[in-house]
Chains A and B, each alone.
Chain A
Amino acid sequence: MTLACHLKHAFPGFTLDAHFEVPEGLTVLYGRSGSGKTTVVNAAAGLLRPDEGRMQVDDWLLFDTAQKAWLPPHKRRVGYIFQEGRLFPHLTVAQNLRYGHWFAPKGATPEPMDRVVNMLGLGPLLHRRPAALSGGEKQRVAIGRALLAAPRMILADEPLSALDDARKSEVLPYFERLRDEVEIPILYVTHSAAEVARLATTVVTLEDGRVTGQGTAAEVLGDPSVTPLGARAAGAVLEATITKHHPDALTELNAGGTPLFLPALAQPEGSSVRVRIAAHDVILSTTEPADLSALNILPGTVQDIRSGQGPGAIVSLDTAAGRILARVTRRSAERLDLKTGTPCYAVIKSVALAPQDIGG
């Protein structure tokens, strides 16, 4: 499966000119607000008619301005999960869930209602109305409603941004399950590096209406030149497997042969997880640190150093566990005489690794 997107659209004061082709799985459109992510998704849904462009999934053509082809939104069968849920206030949860099913073509095979209700934990909510739901519950219903319309593609526009951290960690796992269990392309918009790290099969970064990078989460987040949200949000992703849950509430991971210690994770031993390590949580040392409280000390070599006008620099470090980014001051980088090829140790406090940055 390939999702091809070529879009040009002029807004007053802003031009979107985005081109990308991505393989199957969950594609994250990543960038700050105003970078054009939502425009891409709205064009995919047919809610915005672009000046020029084409979008298709394999031979399923959504629109092509060159051929004057345009599928109206109600014939596209995309399951759109909106930022604000957009549940129908006059219908119960069950009626909201069934809404798309009424209009799905007879031949379509939607996910069975029971399965979706179980997967999203909606059973106790079915007879309530949206006004009586919490933010997290609303978003779960919105996911279910999109799924039950028998969509050929799922669009999600910052579906977690209206939720607080607790609700985010409640809903995030459902997107992981969607990615792993539903065999249709998912286009997911976010400006959260943590969500990219956890969910993305492919990341497409957007800046000022243009695509600036594409790759796996580890590739894109580990590339210091691609920081669509600025250095403050930088952070690399490591792929690891859980080796052991220790009795002192720590979980030991194996990342490319290197042990990593994290606050206890819920996943069983043997499962693979992605760990996002925010660049500002990493300390660098040119000698092997001793007598340090930090549990994770990863040897590596400096691969690249990037700095701008500000006081900070982003150092990328190749370790056996994978690429790690560290945000240090330019002064420290000069004092330690960091250059490409300098051997270096990355020090990461276990407790700095937030559980919402870790997922399957």
Chain B
Amino acid sequence: MDWLTPEEWQAVALSLRVAFWATLFCLPIGVFTAYALARWAFPGRQLLNILVHLPLIMPPVVTGYLLLIAFGPQGGLGALLKETFGLTFAFRWTGAALASGVMAFPFMVRAARLSIEAVDPKLEQAAATLGASRAWVFVTVTLPMILPGILAGCVLAFAKGMGEFGATITFVSNIPGETQTIPLAIDLALETPGGEGRVMRLALISIALAAGALALSEWVSRRVAARVGGV
């Protein structure tokens, strides 16, 4: 397809990669956090709840700024991760994925939590009396029943990852080929004379990807729900 320039392709591919890793990173932590918030009573539960929702409420620039402080070259966490795992975030696509992941996290948690709260704890008790330990109860009863909710969470997180702008540009800047995802490319094109065509093409691709992801998740979750609700 040559209606996109190589740079535009790059932005699309990068966006997909960033959103994919952001979602993957959110998935286990998000489900675990949602489970803890929905089912466990522990001190600091309310605090955790607020913390989870902060990226949703704070200006994205602030989130990006906090990430820069924590994970930037001079940041404590950033230096630690570089030393132990050789992971760098600053001005790299990994940083864009991290920013997207943090911004997508509340969406994942909210979707997962809603579906966990809909699971009747009495079913989990029944599983326990039949010999299933907590972990097995989660794998064999809770997880299959919350799959549609988790899927919805993944789609939301993926869409958020594709569209994240403020935190990403603050944290890792706008570097073509490295951190320039579709929204950042659109932003740049808007400021470039004669960039209207590029803006339009990238916007159309964004819409198509979002709609496609939603349709896919609807289809999968309908199938899962039919299995779970089962007739």
Q: Which residues of A contact B (CB under 8 A)?
A: 45-47, 72-80, 82, 84, 86, 88-90, 92, 99-100, 102-104, 129-132, 145-146, 149, 155
Contact = CB atoms under 8 A, between A and B. Distances in A.
B230 A89 contact: yes
Q: List 5 A-B pairs, minimum CB-CB distance, nearest first.
A: A103-B131, A129-B230, A100-B130, A86-B126, A80-B129
Contacts, number: 78
A347 B183 CA distance: 90
Nearest to B137: A74
Nearest to A82: B126
Contacts of A75: 131
Contacts of A155: 129
A129 B123 CA distance: 15
Contacts of B123: 86, 88-89
Query: How many B residues are at the interface, by size bracket?
Result: 20 to 34
Nearest to A83: B122
A47 B145 CA distance: 21
B128 interface: yes
B145 A90 contact: yes
B229 interface: yes
A74 B128 contact: yes
Could you tell me the dominant secondary structure of chain B's interface residues? helix
Nearest to A142: B126
B41 interface: no
A80 B231 contact: no
Contacts of B126: 80, 82, 86, 88
Interface string B104-141: 00000000000000000011011111111110110011
Contact of B230 (A74, A76, A84, A131): A131
A197 B216 CA distance: 58
Contacts of A149: 130-131
Contacts of B132: 74, 99, 102-103
Contact of B131 (A77, A90, A92, A129): A77
A89 B122 contact: no
Interface string B196-231: 000000000000000000000000000000011111
B144 interface: yes
Residue from A45, A47, A90 with most neighbouring chain B CB atoms (10 Å): A90
B127 A47 contact: no
A130 B230 contact: yes
A103 B136 contact: yes
A139 to B, nearest CB: 13
B136 A88 contact: no
B228 A90 contact: yes
Interface in B43-102: none
A145 B128 CA distance: 13
Contacts of A82: 122, 126
A103 B130 contact: yes
A78 B136 CA distance: 17
Contacts of A80: 126, 129-130
Interface in B134-170: 134, 136-137, 140-141, 144-145
Contacts of B231: 129, 131-132
Residue from A88, A145, A146 with most neighbouring chain B CB atoms (10 Å): A88
B129 A76 contact: yes
A184 to B, nearest CB: 14
Contact of A145 (B130, B137, B140): B130
Contact of A89 (B131, B136, B140, B229): B229
B130 A47 contact: no
B127 A88 contact: yes
Contacts of B229: 89, 131
A66 B114 CA distance: 40
A86 B122 contact: yes
B125 A73 contact: yes
